[in-house]
Amino acid sequence: MSYNIFFILMLTLVHSTFSSLSPPDRAALESIRDSLTDMPGSSFFSTWDFTTPDPCSTFSGLACTSLGRVTTLSLGPNLSGSLSPSISNLTHLTQLVLYPGSVTGPLPPRFGSLPLLRVISITRNRLTGPIPNSFSSLSYLHTLDLSYNQLSGSLPPFLTTLPRLKVLVLASNQFSNNLKPVSSPLLHLDLKMNQISGQLPPAFPTTLRYLSLSSNSMQGTINALAPLTELTYIDLSMNQFTGAIPNSLFGPTTSSMFLQRNNFTSISNATAISLPQGSTVDMSHNSISGELPPSLAGAESLFLNNNRFTGDIPEEYVRSLTNGTTKTLFLQHNYLTRFPWNSGSQLQDSVSLCLSYNCMETDPIVGLSTCPVEVAPLLSRPAIQCSRFYNHSSTG
Q: Which of 298, 307, 354, 369 binds ligand NAG (CB under 6 A)?
A: 298
Closest CA to 200 of 180, 170, 177, 185: 180
Binding mask 101-140 for ligand NAG (x = CB under 6 A): ----------------------------------------
254 contributes a contact to ligand NAG by CB under 6 A? no
The number of CA neighbours under 13 Å toward the Cβ of 243 is 12
Virtual torsion, Cα 9, 54, 89, 185, nearest 10 deg: 60
Q: Which of 221, 242, 337, 385 binds ligand NAG (CB under 6 A)?
A: 242
Measure CA 101 to chain center.
21
89 contributes a contact to ligand NAG by CB under 6 A? yes
Closest CA to 358 of 327, 389, 392, 328: 392
* Amino acid letter, residue 111: F
Q: Which is nearer to ligand NAG, 77 or 198 (CB)?
A: 77
Task: Say which residues have a Cβ less than 8 Å from residue 185's Cβ, sequence separation at least 6.
Answer: 163, 164, 165, 166, 205, 207
101 close to 79: Cβ distance less than 8 angstroms? yes
Q: Which of 21, 28, 182, 288 binds ligand NAG (CB under 6 A)?
A: 28
Q: Which is nearer to ligand NAG, 232 or 266 (CB)?
A: 266
Q: Which is nearer to ligand NAG, 160 or 306 (CB)?
A: 306
Q: Which of 42, 154, 177, 178 binds ligand NAG (CB under 6 A)?
A: 42
18 close to 57: Cβ distance less than 8 angstroms? yes
Distance from C-alpha of 245 to C-alpha of 195, rounded to nearest angstrom: 23
Distance from C-alpha of 158 to C-alpha of 176, rounded to nearest angstrom: 15
Q: Which is nearer to ligand NAG, 187 or 226 (CB)?
A: 226
Q: Which is nearer to ligand NAG, 134 or 242 (CB)?
A: 242
351 close to 326: Cβ distance less than 8 angstroms? yes
Distance from C-alpha of 85 to C-alpha of 80, rounded to nearest angstrom: 16
385 contributes a contact to ligand NAG by CB under 6 A? no
Q: Which is nearer to ligand NAG, 81 or 298 (CB)?
A: 298
Site for ligand NAG in 265-294 (CB under 6 A): 265, 269, 271-272, 287
Q: Which is nearer to ligand NAG, 184 or 295 (CB)?
A: 295
78 contributes a contact to ligand NAG by CB under 6 A? yes
Distance from C-alpha of 165 to C-alpha of 120, rounded to nearest angstrom: 11
Q: Which is nearer to ligand NAG, 41 or 202 (CB)?
A: 41
Annotate 310-328 with DSSP letters as a single string: EEEPPHHHHHHHHTTS-SE
Q: How many residues of this chain interact with ligand NAG, rule: CB under 6 A?
A: 27
320 contributes a contact to ligand NAG by CB under 6 A? yes
Please, what is the minimum distance in Å from the beta carbon of residue 316 to ligand NAG? 4
47 contributes a contact to ligand NAG by CB under 6 A? no
Closest CA to 156 of 185, 123, 131: 131
Closest CA to 77 of 47, 103, 106, 108: 103
Q: Return the SS3 of 205.
A: coil
152 contributes a contact to ligand NAG by CB under 6 A? no
Site for ligand NAG in 52-71 (CB under 6 A): none
216 contributes a contact to ligand NAG by CB under 6 A? no
220 close to 197: Cβ distance less than 8 angstroms? no
Please, what is the minimum distance in Å from the beta carbon of residue 180 to ligand NAG? 25
346 contributes a contact to ligand NAG by CB under 6 A? no
Q: Which is nearer to ligand NAG, 189 or 355 (CB)?
A: 355
Question: Which residues form the interface with ligand NAG (CB under 6 A)?
Answer: 27-28, 31, 41-42, 77-78, 86, 89, 240, 242, 263, 265, 269, 271-272, 287, 297-298, 316, 319-320, 323, 325, 391, 393-394
